[in-house]
A and B are shown apart, each in its own frame.
Chain A
């Protein structure tokens, strides 16, 4: 059999989950991804993402200790339920200790987490070394550190399915309670919601997911499972319900794809590959996220710049026409426009060609341009809005104007028709329709907005 044929056969097997082992691993990481994505969303919004790192490291001494105790008592030290129970106990202890350090001393959260994480991890390593001296049975215990999907068994998958079901149920049932304490803890408390209990539930979810996921990705990398899907999802939406669902989906998908890839490429540890896959998803989200991705923000800026440029150009034309006092849409010389603002000929040409594309310019003949009917109306509107804004700023100079949207197309929408009317009256201008009031200052030279 040549290599290609072997690869094809293998990929086929993996994709259709033909092999029992592959099926076990892929489904396990898939469920782990979903549950950790959901639980991680709360942690991210509660600003406690790193707590899961402390927790996972604090699991190690529990595993070692449980092994030693059970072996000494003559039982099977590698029984998975018992090991995970041990992990849960010390994991919880670590989390409680962080809370205790934070509440009773002046040490901040990050330092408290660092201390607990490293001390518990050190203790865990000591425990494992002790366990090694007890004979060969302890050989597989290190797999909890880096994760070893090959050592996963049917029980792992079963636990992961259960924890996923529990997570989904809790997320759906308590979404309003969880979002409330994540957003405004004090308000929740004043409403008599048991913030502490809800926090414990949230932490409990995190503990459950972490402990059953240890075998799959290892305690060092599992924090990535908690943070990355949720952080990636945040780039796509401003709605928390959607964010949770997305985080679950991203986590599940990363788990599936990562485990499949590691099954196809021999000797690639699943945990690491899965984290790399979710890392790719994160980078992609960061750049292309529909809500706050880098590209989206950039394109908003470009859009904004264009809009401001268009306003400046049309207003400049309008003000030149206004100064000529001919009262209508006539041609304007490019030379006049050049002198109007501090723009170069090239910049102005750009504005003109864009305005042409947007049908704001009727004709360009030699050195003169004329606005279209629509362009003239737009120009009048922009000029009117601009001048009303200026009046507003002068009239209400004491007001915190930074709080209002200066770029609004409709001044009256932001200021309210009453203020607009007041502004119009105050300047004693008789207004008919969209005709702008006179500019409150000399409009010949104008460099800025």
Chain B
């Protein structure tokens, strides 16, 4: 099999990616080429592997097979070009830090080992907070922020990373209208700067409005492409429809055979 090459202008290229937890495949043979400067929505039902796809790209979960290239190189070499917004629930917001401290974490990679956060990076963190409309809340302890504000703190942290390619895990989950507007504005700002954003998204009603590109995911890529071509009733049906349990059945069968051989 020939190994496909990807030009460095492709922000994210995924070949034959398979991820499995406990021998149960979560993602099957994912092949994707994400064009530059697009807002890409990752859409699919619960358990479709949306978050896992992001985490596999970021080397946060082990890959059973496959390759992920960021601007033509492996993720390891290109980390500086990638920004990450994890799910808000993934951390304990009772941690004794201020909003500014959290945002400054986005600059740690540039600061390097053992050095304190200098004035330059504090300023960068402050600017990032300002871009999400939270400059007034910089010194608040993070548990005192509302859910939407916490989400914006995470976005500001990713902005402080100053990346080319952003992975965002459900930034729109359970946020207020002000935050939703702030995020949309921000996404367009990023796009105007030529940056690429992959956003895990739950709300089908807003997909058309927010994204230029859509990946319909349900353990495999059902369809990926420009929103107006891909986001159709037919494809959605095959993403969310009943026949999809077939794949998980295959997974179960595999597991059973393996158990029998043992």
Known: A45-B95, A400-B176. Is A192-B111 also a contact (CB below 8 A)?
no
Our pick among B79, B98, B117, B146 for the contact of A176 (Cβ within 8 Å) is B117
Complex CA distance for A399 and B181, rounded to whole angstroms:
12
Q: Would you give the 0/1 interface string for A176-197, flagging 1 where the beta carbon is closer than 8 Å to chain B? A: 1101101110110111110000
Whether A174 sits at the interface, judged by CB under 8 Å, is yes
Known: A183-B91, A191-B79, A193-B108. Is A238-B141 also a contact (CB below 8 A)?
yes
Whether A237 sits at the interface, judged by CB under 8 Å, is yes
Our pick among A174, A182, A184, A400 for the contact of B86 (Cβ within 8 Å) is A184
Whether A240 sits at the interface, judged by CB under 8 Å, is yes
Is B98 a contact partner of A239 (Cβ separation < 8 A)?
A: yes
Our pick among A174, A189, A192 for the contact of B114 (Cβ within 8 Å) is A174
On chain A, the number of residues with a Cβ less than 8 Å from chain B's Cβ atoms is: 35
Chain B: minimal CB distance from A449 (Å): 19
Which residue of chain A is the closest to B76 with respect to CB atoms? A192
Interfacial chain B residues near A184, Cβ < 8 Å: 86, 90-91, 105
Is A401 a contact partner of B114 (Cβ separation < 8 A)?
A: no
Complex CA distance for A191 and B76, rounded to whole angstroms:
10
Chain A: minimal CB distance from B85 (Å): 9
Is A239 a contact partner of B96 (Cβ separation < 8 A)?
A: yes
Interfacial chain A residues near B97, Cβ < 8 Å: 179, 183, 239-240
Q: Would you give the 0/1 interface string for B72-84, flagging 1 where the beta carbon is closer than 8 Å to chain A? A: 0000100100101
**411-443 of chain A: CB within 8 A of chain B:** 416
Is B79 a contact partner of A190 (Cβ separation < 8 A)?
A: yes
Our pick among B90, B96, B148, B174 for the contact of A238 (Cβ within 8 Å) is B96
**107-161 of chain B: CB within 8 A of chain A:** 108-109, 111, 113-114, 116-117, 141, 146-149, 157, 161
Complex CA distance for A230 and B149, rounded to whole angstroms:
28
On chain B, the number of residues with a Cβ less than 8 Å from chain A's Cβ atoms is: 39
Which residue of chain A is the closest to B90 with respect to CB atoms? A186
Is A189 a contact partner of B111 (Cβ separation < 8 A)?
A: no
Our pick among B105, B109, B146 for the contact of A183 (Cβ within 8 Å) is B105
Which residue of chain B is the closest to A173 with respect to CB atoms? B114
Interfacial chain B residues near A189, Cβ < 8 Å: 58-60
Our pick among B95, B109, B157 for the contact of A182 (Cβ within 8 Å) is B95
- Which of A174, A186, A403 is most buried by chain B, counting CB atoms within 10 A of its CB? A403
Known: A191-B109, A238-B96, A399-B176. Is A186-B148 also a contact (CB below 8 A)?
no
Is A190 a contact partner of B58 (Cβ separation < 8 A)?
A: yes
Whether B175 sits at the interface, judged by CB under 8 Å, is yes
Is A186 a contact partner of B96 (Cβ separation < 8 A)?
A: no
Which residue of chain B is the closest to A413 with respect to CB atoms? B136
Whether A312 sits at the interface, judged by CB under 8 Å, is no
Interfacial chain A residues near B109, Cβ < 8 Å: 191-193
Complex CA distance for A285 and B147, rounded to whole angstroms:
29
Interfacial chain B residues near A405, Cβ < 8 Å: 146
**191-228 of chain A: CB within 8 A of chain B:** 191-193
Interfacial chain B residues near A243, Cβ < 8 Å: 96
Which residue of chain B is the closest to A175 with respect to CB atoms? B116
Whether B183 sits at the interface, judged by CB under 8 Å, is no
Complex CA distance for A186 and B174, rounded to whole angstroms:
21
Whether A396 sits at the interface, judged by CB under 8 Å, is yes
Complex CA distance for A398 and B97, rounded to whole angstroms:
32
- Which of A191, A237, A400 is most buried by chain B, counting CB atoms within 10 A of its CB? A191
Chain A: minimal CB distance from B198 (Å): 13
Complex CA distance for A73 and B63, rounded to whole angstroms:
50
Complex CA distance for A403 and B148, rounded to whole angstroms:
7
Known: A177-B113, A234-B96. Is A403-B79 also a contact (CB below 8 A)?
no
Whether A404 sits at the interface, judged by CB under 8 Å, is yes
Interfacial chain A residues near B58, Cβ < 8 Å: 189-190
Chain A: minimal CB distance from B104 (Å): 8
Complex CA distance for A396 and B180, rounded to whole angstroms:
14
Whether B3 sits at the interface, judged by CB under 8 Å, is no
**163-200 of chain B: CB within 8 A of chain A:** 174-179
Complex CA distance for A189 and B92, rounded to whole angstroms:
17
Known: A176-B116, A191-B108, A192-B76. Is A186-B60 also a contact (CB below 8 A)?
yes
Complex CA distance for A239 and B98, rounded to whole angstroms:
7
Complex CA distance for A157 and B238, rounded to whole angstroms:
70
Whether B102 sits at the interface, judged by CB under 8 Å, is yes
Is B105 a contact partner of A404 (Cβ separation < 8 A)?
A: no
Known: A184-B91, A186-B90, A187-B86. Is A237-B96 also a contact (CB below 8 A)?
yes
Complex CA distance for A241 and B92, rounded to whole angstroms:
18
Is A401 a contact partner of B116 (Cβ separation < 8 A)?
A: no
- Which of B60, B96, B108 is most buried by chain A, counting CB atoms within 10 A of its CB? B96
Which residue of chain B is the closest to A402 with respect to CB atoms? B146
Is B82 a contact partner of A190 (Cβ separation < 8 A)?
A: yes
Interfacial chain B residues near A401, Cβ < 8 Å: 176
Is B95 a contact partner of A186 (Cβ separation < 8 A)?
A: no
Q: Would you give the 0/1 interface string for A390-401, flagging 1 where the beta carbon is closer than 8 Å to chain B? A: 000000101111
Is A403 a contact partner of B146 (Cβ separation < 8 A)?
A: yes
Interfacial chain A residues near B79, Cβ < 8 Å: 190-192
Interfacial chain B residues near A416, Cβ < 8 Å: 178
Which residue of chain B is the closest to A399 with respect to CB atoms? B177
Interfacial chain A residues near B86, Cβ < 8 Å: 184, 186-187
Which residue of chain B is the closest to A405 with respect to CB atoms? B146
Interfacial chain B residues near A396, Cβ < 8 Å: 177
**363-405 of chain A: CB within 8 A of chain B:** 396, 398-405
- Which of B95, B98, B148 is most buried by chain A, counting CB atoms within 10 A of its CB? B95
Is A190 a contact partner of B60 (Cβ separation < 8 A)?
A: yes
> What are 15 sample pairs from A and B whose C-beta atoms fall under 8 A apart?
A177-B108, A179-B97, A180-B105, A184-B86, A186-B60, A186-B90, A187-B84, A190-B59, A193-B108, A239-B97, A240-B97, A398-B177, A399-B176, A403-B147, A403-B176
Closest 5 CB pairs of A and B: A403-B146, A238-B141, A403-B176, A190-B84, A399-B177
13 further interface pairs, Cβ-Cβ under 8 Å (given A234-B96, A238-B98): A47-B92, A179-B97, A180-B105, A183-B97, A184-B91, A186-B55, A186-B90, A190-B60, A240-B95, A243-B96, A402-B146, A403-B179, A416-B178
> Which positions in A face B, CB cutoff 8 Å?
45, 47, 173-177, 179-180, 182-184, 186-187, 189-193, 234, 237-240, 243, 396, 398-405, 416
